[in-house]
Copies of this chain bind each other. A is one copy, B any other.
């Protein structure tokens, strides 16, 4: 008997069209960590405004030239994929661009992940596999929890565990600006897409 449910046996995650247009037209100077974080926060706000996902965005940047090699936005509800958090999307796109599962591989520049929010339990666990050398976050995980998002069973010493593995961590970069994107999302009735709704 053939399955009543059929689908192509592939996972295909796309970025929304507005993001390409925005990245092509954006001409901001990205020399400071705050400028790079404000770009991530802007993408999080635009993701909500365009209805293309949750209020989270992330960038992968070359730590020396500050060139952005990949951008990701949350696509959980829009792509029907619980792993499509902004950080996972940005990391995967960067790895595809470089043609390597390891952004920390020999011969590459050093890369950082700029995220509009601290990682959930899954994204925390994904960071050591990504090859990034620096994680910068804006909103705290408690800011995401404050509007109803479950951040999962994160390691009690998540920051120390990353630092032990050679990933420097910077927090509270433009936190208030990122938190406002979260509270605005909640205030306008944005979907809180935790699992096990049934």
Q: Is the CB of B7 within 8 A of A96?
A: yes
| Contact status of A166 and B196, CB under 8 A, knowing A83-B83, A83-B91, A125-B153 | yes
Q: Does A193 contact B (CB under 8 A)?
A: yes
Q: Does A198 contact B (CB under 8 A)?
A: yes
| Contact status of A80 and B99, CB under 8 A, knowing A126-B122, A129-B195 | yes
Q: Is the CB of A10 within 8 A of B9?
A: no
Q: How far is the CA of A197 from the CA of B155 in the complex (A)?
A: 24
Segment 150-190 of A: residues with Cβ below 8 Å from B: 150, 152-156, 158, 161-162, 164-166
| Contact status of A12 and B15, CB under 8 A, knowing A80-B95, A107-B198, A196-B166 | no
Q: Is the CB of A5 within 8 A of B69?
A: yes
Q: Does A120 contact B (CB under 8 A)?
A: yes
Segment 77-127 of A: residues with Cβ below 8 Å from B: 77, 79-84, 88-89, 91-93, 95-108, 120-126
Task: Report the minimal beta-carbon distance from A62 to chain B, rounded to whole angstroms.
Answer: 11
Q: How far is the CA of A130 from the CA of B197 in the complex (A)?
A: 11
Q: Does A20 contact B (CB under 8 A)?
A: yes
Q: Is the CB of B152 within 8 A of A128?
A: yes
| Contact status of A165 and B153, CB under 8 A, knowing A9-B14, A11-B96 | yes
Q: Identify 30 residue pairs between A and B in the complex whose beta-carbon atoms are under 8 Å apart, listed by A's number.
A: A9-B93, A10-B12, A10-B14, A11-B12, A11-B13, A11-B93, A76-B101, A79-B101, A82-B101, A82-B129, A84-B101, A101-B193, A101-B195, A102-B195, A102-B197, A103-B195, A104-B195, A104-B197, A104-B198, A105-B197, A120-B129, A121-B124, A121-B128, A121-B155, A125-B154, A128-B195, A131-B196, A153-B164, A153-B165, A155-B156
Given contacts A84-B101, A104-B196, A105-B198, 10 further A-B contacts (CB under 8 A): A3-B67, A9-B93, A11-B96, A76-B101, A80-B95, A80-B101, A82-B102, A125-B126, A129-B194, A154-B155
